[in-house]
Amino acid sequence: MKKIAVVGFGFMGLTHTINIINHRDLELVAIVNRDPGLIEKKLSSNAGNIQTGDLDSDSIRNIKKFSDLDECIKSTEPDALVICVPTFLHYEMAKQAMLHDRHVFLEKPMCLDISQGNELIDLALKKNKIFMTGHVVRFMPPYRQLKKFVDTRELGDLKFLSLYRFSGRPDWGQWNEKSVMDSSGGALFDLVIHDIDLANYLLGLPDIIDCTYLPGKLSKHDYVNAMWKYGQKNVHVSIEGGNIFHSNLPFH
């Protein structure tokens, strides 16, 4: 059984905590949060944009809670950390964990700075650690079926793929904090990145990208409309999405 610590207890931290507790091969040994006293007040997934389940306070009552990552690692010696902090803390926390020789699951996006992302990859290779970014869409059954169709050509060669993802501007949990909002990377990095990852997963890197975007409250690219062109495969992929709409717009 592998020992896991969750770092950051917002909506995604809660989601991963529920999954870890329900996994027969994993043991939740610790939760790290800026204010540990708030952990037992954040047990409902109503704080997010989808329902992922709620947590009974009894299930984490005896789990050790920390405000400091170093202290958590030294005290509980987890095998791996699931890092769900705001984006601007991803690089710092993931690097800290791997310097302690821990495996890391890092919520998406990996980083907003490509040099920091490359540094984390190099560190994981140097330390021989598993380092995974939480691009969940490629594991969902419909998208796995799509991957199978593309690879096997069971339905013929793929010619065109349209990917579409929109939501209202996030206003739940820590999204209401200016530091989080200003450093999120906006819709391109927080929302549309799901479809960017899927296109990479299905077809690899494109030859040409034509893209237009519009600014919103979070960033200069809170609406994105891109056409990915794969010359040798003769495939075009349309990726459109954003969160420039009012907060009550449902995720779709």
pLDDT at res. 21:
94
For 150-198, how does the pLDDT look when each residue is reduced to its tens digit (9 = 90+)?
999 999 999 999 999 998 877 665 655 556 656 778 889 989 999 999 9
Share the mean pLDDT of the chain.
Answer: 90
What's the CA gap between 107 and 173, in Å, rounded? Answer: 16
- In this predicted structure, what is the pLDDT of residue 44? 63
With 70 as the cut, is the pLDDT of residue 45 above it? no
pLDDT tens for 114-151 read: 999 999 999 999 999 999 999 999 999 999 999 999 99
pLDDT at 84: 96
Whether 250 is covered by a domain: the verdict is no
Q: Which residue has the tokens 């056409």?
A: 227
- Indicate the burial class of 252 (C-beta count within 10 angstroms; 0-12, 13-18, 19 or more): exposed
pLDDT digits (tens, 9 = 90+) for 185-233: 888 998 999 999 999 999 999 999 999 999 887 788 889 999 999 988 8
CATH number at residue 123: 3.40.50.720
For residue 247, the model assigns a pLDDT of: 72
Q: State if pTM tops 0.95.
A: no
Q: At what angle do helices 69-76 and 90-99 cross, to 10 degrees?
A: 30
Whether residue 206 lies inside any domain: the answer is yes
Higher pLDDT, 252 or 38: 38
63 and 176 in a single domain? The answer is: no
Both 120 and 203 in a single domain?
no
Q: Are residues 50 and 122 in the same domain?
A: yes
Name the nearest CA neighbour of 8 among 131, 140, 180, 129: 180
Distances (CA, A) of 35 to 40, 65, 67: 11, 9, 6
Domain that holds residue 6: 2-134
**Does residue 146 sit in the same domain as residue 93?**
no
Rounded Cα distance, 109 and 238, in Å:
21
Same domain, 7 and 128: yes
CATH number of the domain where residue 231 is located = 3.30.360.10
Q: What angle do CA 179, 181, 183 make, to 5 degrees?
A: 65
Last residue of a domain, one of 82, 109, 134: 134
pLDDT digits (tens, 9 = 90+) for 16-27: 999 999 999 999
pLDDT at 174: 61
Residues 57 and 15 sit within 8 Å (Cβ to Cβ): no
pLDDT digits 0-9 by tens, 79-113: 999 999 999 999 999 999 999 999 999 999 999 99
Residue 243's pLDDT band (cuts 50, 70, 90): confident
Give the pLDDT confidence score for residue 11 in this predicted structure.
87
**φ, ψ dihedrals at 47, nearest 5°:** -80, 0
CB distance 238 to 162 below 8 Å: yes
